[in-house]
Amino acid sequence: MPFQLEIFINHLLNGLTLGALYSLVTLGLVLTFSVIGIVNFAHGDLFMVAGYTLFLLLNMSIELPYVVIVALVILLTAFYAVVIERLAIHPIIEKSWRTHAITTIGLSIILQNAALAIFSADPRTTPTSLSNTVISPLGIRISVQRLIILVVAALVFAGIQVFVKHTKLGKTMRAISQNREMCQVVGINTRKIALITFALGGAITGLAAALITPLFSVYNSMGSMLTIKSLAAIVMGGMGQVNGAIYASMLMGMIESFFGGYVSFAYKDVVSFGVFVLVLFIRPTGLFGKKVGL
Partner 1 sequence: MKKTLKVFVFLVVVMSLALAACAPAATPAPAEPTAAPQTQPTEATKEEMPPTAVPTEAPKDPIKIGLNLPLTGALAFLGEGYKMGIVLAIEELGGAIQGHPIELYDADNKGTPTDSVNAVRQLVDVNQVQVMIGGGASSATLASMPIILEGETPSVDGSSTNPTIYNQIGVGGNPWLFRIGTDDLIMGQGYSDYIADRVKSVSFVGDDNQFGRGAGQVYVPLLPRSGAEVLSEDYFDPGTADYRPALTKIKSTGADAVLIVMTDQSCATFMRQFREVGLTQQVFARGGCTTGLFNENTKDDPKIGEGIIEFSFFMSGSDPDFADRFFKRYNQQVTSHRFAGYYAMYHTVAPAIEAVLADGKELTPANIRDAIAALDVDTAVGKIKFDDHNQAYTKGSLTTNKDGKQVFLDEVELKPIDHTGF
Partner 2 sequence: MNISKQSLRPFILPIVLLVIMALLPLFNQSGFTLNVLINVVRWLIFALAFDLVAGHIGSVSLGQPIFYGIGAYLTAYLAGKLGLGWLGCMLVSAFFMALLALLAGLAFFRIRHVTFAIGTLGAAIVTQLVANSAEKLTGGALCTTGVPRPQLLLPFMESAIKISKPIQFYYLFLPFLILTLVVYLAVTKSRIGRAFTAVREDEVRASAVGIYPLRYKLVAFALSGALIGALGSWQAQYVTVICPSDMAQDITTSLLIMVFVGGAGRLSGVIIGGVIFSILPPFLQAVGSKYFQPAYQQILYGLILVGVMLYMPDGLDGLASRILRRFRGIRKEGV
The residues of the shown chain that bind partner 1, judged by CB under 8 A, are 1, 4, 7, 10-11, 14-15, 17-18, 21, 59, 113, 116-125, 127, 129, 131-132, 134, 136, 141-143, 146, 215-217, 219, 221-222, 225, 256-257, 260-262, 264-266, 268-269
Closest CA to 142 of 65, 64, 215, 75: 215
We find the least distance from the C-beta atom of residue 59 to partner 1, in angstroms, to be: 7
Q: Which does 125 bind (CB under 5 to 8 A by kind): partner 1, partner 2, none?
A: partner 1
CB-neighbour burial class of residue 176 (10 A; exposed 0-12, middle 13-18, buried 19+): buried
Smallest distance from partner 1 to CB 50, Å: 16
Q: Which residues contact 71 (CB under 8 A, 6 or more apart)?
A: none
Q: How far apart are alpha carbons 24 and 209 in whole angstroms?
A: 9
What b/e sequence results for 205-233 when a residue is b if at least 16 CB atoms lie within 10 Å of its CB, and e otherwise?
Answer: bbbbbbbbbbbeebbbbbbeebbbbbbbb
Among 228, 243, 261, 291, binds partner 2 (CB under 8 A): 228
Q: Which one of 2-10, 135-143, 174-182, 275-283 is the stretch in contact with partner 2 (CB under 8 A)?
A: 275-283
Q: Choose the contact partner of 239 out of partner 1, partner 2, none; CB within 5 to 8 A by kind.
A: partner 2
- Residue of 240, 286, 285, 210 lying closest to 32 (CA atoms): 240
> DSSP class of residue 88?
I
> What are the residues whose beta carbons fall under 8 Å from the beta carbon of 193, sequence distance 6 or more?
35, 169, 172, 173, 176
Among 7, 64, 83, 105, binds partner 2 (CB under 8 A): 105
Residue 116 engages partner 2 in binding (rule: CB under 8 A): yes
Least Å distance, CB 85 to partner 1, is 19
Query: Half-sphere exposure of residue 160, counting CA atoms within 13 Å on the CB side?
Result: 24
When asked if residue 231 is in the footprint of partner 2 (CB under 8 A), the reply is: yes
Q: Verify binding: residue 97, partner 2, rule CB under 8 A.
A: yes
Q: Which residues bind partner 2 (CB under 8 A)?
A: 39, 88, 91-92, 95, 97-103, 105-110, 112-114, 116-117, 224, 228, 231-232, 234-235, 239, 266-267, 269-270, 273-274, 276-277, 280-281, 284
